[in-house]
Amino acid sequence: MATRALRIGLIPGDGIGKEVIPAGRRVLEALPASLGLKFSFVDLRAGFEAFEQTGAALPEKTVDALKAECDGALFGAVSSPSSPVKGYSSPIVALRKRLDLYANVRPVKSVGTARNPIDMVIVRENTEDLYVKEERTFDAADGSGKVAEAIKRISEKASFRIASMAGEIALRRQKIRESGSPSIHASPLVTITHKSNVLSQTDGLFRTTSRSALAQDRFSSVGVDEQIIDSMVYKLFRQPETYDVIVAPNLYGDILSDGAAALVGSLGLVPSANVGEGFAIGEPCHGSAPDIMGQNIANPIATLRSAALMLEFLNEEAAAAKIYAAVDGNLEEGKVLSPDLGGKATTEEVIEDVLKRL
């Protein structure tokens, strides 16, 4: 078997990102040699600490290295201040734009016995909506005080490609099911989420364009339905087993994916990948968690799963499956769990348990 060399950028960021991203590196390095993968790594900077030290939350050196040297990357977490800091903006949002990582893909799956089994993927458009960050504040003409406005931008191009990505993921999940992997779903389904009954132009364009994308011949076996965002939230918590793949504009996708994480116990379990054409950045869904930083109790599972998800989008599904199986084994046995899951294990103990299972 020919060996494939993959160079992975490591961007710990802030807080517990510095504790969990090394875990991602270790799980990649521990993959069996029989898979034919060889990894090298480049350490890169981004985040609020980088901003305080250098004046740049996303240094150009980081962007240049990802473009020129790397096949993929792992991104930890960033601390974003709740009040404005002059010159600072989220480096992960900027990174998604700079590398055109137009899809944020977040699988949410329950492991073991669950009252409502969950096996869904939320596919979030990553480049526009309210996250274009075009805001202004001005004085009301009638003298009643200040008014703040934000632009919500939805384009046909972005909507078409994100819905197409959702369709491709639904087909891939169906192939995995047909190969014998257990699942709660019998057939592929994409649910389009929107609020076009109120936002008829922006969300209306997302809805109609998504339907057009999913009407392509290659998606003929994929079922399509839709859900207004407020009823979607209700049904997500009441009937999570209903959903296979959910596609949503940026803001709704952000809210849904964090909410869905609560259904499986912790944000510390939920991975994501920022995906473009031929490049993927694995990113755990949790934040920088400064309250537990340095205590060796951060849950590394979301990062380990994010490393596997990155490998999926680098066409290394077999390697990804090895990591998923090792993580699922840890969770199903339930003896070595971090405090967020009701256990007493340290970060290091969880990592070691997963590595043993590889």
Q: Are residues 247 and 298 in the same domain?
A: no
Q: Are residues 11 and 106 in the same domain?
A: yes
Q: Are residues 162 and 253 in the same domain?
A: yes
Percent of the chain whose pLDDT exceeds 70: 97
Q: Are residues 14 and 91 in the same domain?
A: yes
pLDDT for 174: 84
Span 216-231, mean pLDDT?
Answer: 96
Q: Are residues 324 and 296 in the same domain?
A: yes
pLDDT category at 211 given cuts 50, 70, 90 is very high
Q: Are residues 57 and 97 in the same domain?
A: yes
- Based on its alpha-carbon atoms, the radius of gyration of the chain, rounded to whole angstroms, reads 20
Bridging pattern class, strands 273-275 and 280-282: antiparallel
Whether 124 maps to a domain, the answer reads no
Whether 117 maps to a domain, the answer reads no
Whether 354 maps to a domain, the answer reads yes
Q: Given a cut of 60, is residue 114 above it in pLDDT?
A: no
Torsion of CA 266, 123, 189, 214, to 10 degrees: 180
pLDDT for 181: 56
Q: Which of 204, 228, 263 is the endpoint of a domain?
A: 263
Q: Are residues 190 and 287 in the same domain?
A: no
CA distance 105 to 102: 10
**CA 11 distance to own-chain centroid:** 15
Domain that holds residue 165: 153-263
CA distance 172 to 315: 12
CA distance 120 to 106: 8
CA-wise closest residue to 129 among 206, 31, 209: 206
Span 44-72, mean pLDDT?
Answer: 95
Q: Are residues 284 and 332 in the same domain?
A: yes
Whether 241 maps to a domain, the answer reads yes
Q: Given a cut of 80, is residue 182 above it in pLDDT?
A: no
Q: Which of 263, 283, 304 is the endpoint of a domain?
A: 263
CA distance 238 to 212: 29
Contacts of 212 (CB under 8 A, 6+ apart): 160, 163
Q: For the chain, what is the domain count? A: 2
Q: What are the tens digits of pLDDT across the range 147-170?
A: 999 999 999 999 999 999 999 999
Q: What are the tens digits of pLDDT across the range 292-335?
A: 999 999 999 999 999 999 998 998 988 988 998 899 899 989 99
Span 247-268, mean pLDDT?
Answer: 88
Q: Is the dihedral of CA 40, 21, 62, 105 positive or negative?
A: positive
* CATH number of the domain that residue 186 is part of: 3.40.50
pLDDT for 232: 95
Q: Are residues 85 and 72 in the same domain?
A: yes
Q: Are residues 236 and 292 in the same domain?
A: no
Host H or E run for residue 10: strand 4-13
Q: Are residues 243 and 222 in the same domain?
A: yes
Q: Given a cut of 60, is residue 342 above it in pLDDT?
A: yes
The pTM assigned to this predicted structure is: 0.85
CA-wise closest residue to 279 among 139, 98, 133: 98
pLDDT for 82: 74
Residue type, 75: F
Whether 130 maps to a domain, the answer reads no
Whether 140 maps to a domain, the answer reads no
Whether 203 maps to a domain, the answer reads yes
Span 251-276, mean pLDDT?
Answer: 88
CA-wise closest residue to 305 among 279, 278, 285: 285
CA distance 347 to 314: 27
Q: Are residues 252 and 272 in the same domain?
A: no
Q: Which of 197, 231, 263 is the endpoint of a domain?
A: 263
